[in-house]
């Protein structure tokens, strides 16, 4: 959990903007919810390496080590971006042939997170004899892994190569902590819903503690409506996705803050069972998503893809099922009664002994946490 500069500032990021964002994260109490990583995306890199082959930061970042120290003093973590190519996606210098230097430099600066973006590596890869083989996709990530893991720091390794060559199948092998599963998200309903609702559903068996599917950073608080932002955040929580904020934390409105600081929704995302939710469509552009949680609980999301609000009767008995593929957990609605907590609206919990009437706004999602009612006799 944390924040990254890209969705908010793109290549126009600076140390001042990063520091003031981190300060806003602290001032608004977001660190208390678990947001910890402050990640600089592309455009921090100097135009040339020094005589030792070390890559320094450009004028916008006059003191990387100092910035890292300040973040650490505030209890936060420090993230950075690079590419295995000659250049990054934004045409800044990449790490090619200098992976060892760069890993060492990250360690010196106190880096805790590296986003490593394929992009500019494409040109080199095109010239490789074995391109298009899985080995050719894995190679640059394996190389950086070797040097990263030689560092004394515990550095989160975040792969960014848009889900090519089924990265979810080999990400754990290069000790990646997360891997992007798709192309870039933007702050439109079309982009967010295409990535979130359509491109992730088959990937749920590949998420596991320490090795996560990454459907890209959050757009909550950017150009999405409140309903869309709620659907986005809820869905990312159901997917156990990294929650990396991408909005301007300094100027966000109350609705945005309320969404990203919903403790119970965050708890679904961060649940210690570490299982990604799966989807069961129920027709008329309504989907239900189900996520087994620790302690016998379940999270349920009811997503309305229509522009208009819908009413849907959630008959629990229709969802007696077992998650055979990952957790082995069954809902057992025919045997167990659960309490049902509405995670966005609060209020008195209901029970699964009768169907739940769900009202969901247009392009919005309702979200619930089910907890088994223990039989008092046992
Ligand atoms: C893209 C990447 C984005 C951002 C950008 C920076 O390849 O997917 O998330 O990092 O590069 O140039």
pLDDT given at position 284: 87
* pLDDT tens readout for residues 210-249: 999 999 999 999 999 999 999 999 999 999 999 999 999 9
* pLDDT tens readout for residues 268-290: 999 999 999 999 999 889 999 99
Instruction: Give CA–CA dist 371/300, Å, rounded.
Output: 11
41, 112, 117, 271: the catalytic one is 117
Instruction: Give CA–CA dist 74/340, Å, rounded.
Output: 38
pLDDT above 70 for 378: no
Which band of pLDDT confidence, cut at 50, 70 and 90, is reported for residue 343?
A: very high
Which band of pLDDT confidence, cut at 50, 70 and 90, is reported for residue 200?
A: confident
Instruction: Say whether 269 is catalytic.
Output: no
Nearest atom of ligand 1 to the alpha carbon of 217: 9
* pLDDT tens readout for residues 130-155: 999 999 999 999 999 999 999 999 99
Q: Is 246 helix (H, G, I), strand (E, B) or coil?
A: coil
Task: Answer left, alpha or beta for residue 356, where phi above 0 means left and psi between -120 and 50 means alpha.
Answer: beta
**What residues have CB less than 8 Å from 127, skipping those under 6 apart?**
none
Instruction: Give CA–CA dist 85/93, Å, rounded.
Output: 8
Q: How far is CA 121 from CA 33, 91, 97, 173, 246, in A?
A: 36, 11, 12, 20, 25
Estimate the crossing angle of helix 99-109 against helix 134-150, to 10 degrees. Answer: 40
pLDDT above 80 for 375: no
Nearest to 349 by CA among 334, 331, 368: 368
Mean pLDDT of 57-77: 98
Instruction: Give CA–CA dist 286/273, Å, rounded.
Output: 27
For a pocket test of ligand 1, which of 88, 119, 158 has the largest count of ligand atoms closer than 8 A to its C-beta?
119
pLDDT given at position 374: 83
Percentage with pLDDT > 70 across the chain: 99
pLDDT above 70 for 377: no
Which residue blocks in the chain are alpha helix, DSSP H?
Answer: 6-9, 15-27, 64-73, 99-109, 122-127, 134-150, 167-170, 189-193, 226-238, 254-260, 263-269
Nearest to 1 by CA among 39, 48, 41, 44: 39
**Mean model confidence pLDDT for the chain:** 96
184, 194, 332, 342: the catalytic one is 184
pLDDT given at position 33: 98
pLDDT given at position 198: 82
Instruction: Give CA–CA dist 321/329, Å, rounded.
Output: 8
Q: pTM of the full predicted structure?
A: 0.96
pLDDT above 80 for 376: no
Instruction: Say whether 223 is catalytic.
Output: no
**What is the 179 CA–ligand 1 centroid distance (Å)?**
13
């Amino acid at each position: 959990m944390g924040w990254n500069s890209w969705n908010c500032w793109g290549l126009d990021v600076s140390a001042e903007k990063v520091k003031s964002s981190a300060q806003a994260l602290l001032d608004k109490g977001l660190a208390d919810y678990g947001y910890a990583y402050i990640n600089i995306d592309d455009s921090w890199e100097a135009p040339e390496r020094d005589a030792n082959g070390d890559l320094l930061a450009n004028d916008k970042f006059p003191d990387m080590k100092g910035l890292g120290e300040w973040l650490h003093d505030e209890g936060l973590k420090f993230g950075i971006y690079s590419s295995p190519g000659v250049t990054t996606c934004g045409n800044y210098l990449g790490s090619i042939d200098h992976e060892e230097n760069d890993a060492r430099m990250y360690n010196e600066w106190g880096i805790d997170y590296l986003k490593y973006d394929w992009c500019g590596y494409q040109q080199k890869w095109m010239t490789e004899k074995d391109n298009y083989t899985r080995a050719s996709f894995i190679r640059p990530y394996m190389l950086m892994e070797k040097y990263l893991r030689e560092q004394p720091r515990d550095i989160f390794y975040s792969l960014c190569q848009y889900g090519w060559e089924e990265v979810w199948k080999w990400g754990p092998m290069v000790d990646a902590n997360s891997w992007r599963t798709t192309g870039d998200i933007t702050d439109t309903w079309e982009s967010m819903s295409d990535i979130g609702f359509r491109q992730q559903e088959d990937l749920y068996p590949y998420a596991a503690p320490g090795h996560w599917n990454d459907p890209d950073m959050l757009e909550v608080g950017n150009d999405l409506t409140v309903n869309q932002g709620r659907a986005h955040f809820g869905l990312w929580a159901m997917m156990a996705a990294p929650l990396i904020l991408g909005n301007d934390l300094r100027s966000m409105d109350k609705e945005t803050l309320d969404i990203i600081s919903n403790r119970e929704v965050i708890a679904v995302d961060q649940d210690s069972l570490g299982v990604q939710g799966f989807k069961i469509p129920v027709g008329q552009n309504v989907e239900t998503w189900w996520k087994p949680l620790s302690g016998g609980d379940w999270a349920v999301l009811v997503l309305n893809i229509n522009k208009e609000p819908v009413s849907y009767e959630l008959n629990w008995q229709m969802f007696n099922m077992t998650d055979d593929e990952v957790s082995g957990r069954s809902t057992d609605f025919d045997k167990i009664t659960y309490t049902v907590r509405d995670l966005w609206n609060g209020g008195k919990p209901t029970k699964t002994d009768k169907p739940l009437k769900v009202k969901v706004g247009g392009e919005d999602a309702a979200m619930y946490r089910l907890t088994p009612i223990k039989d008092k006799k046992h």
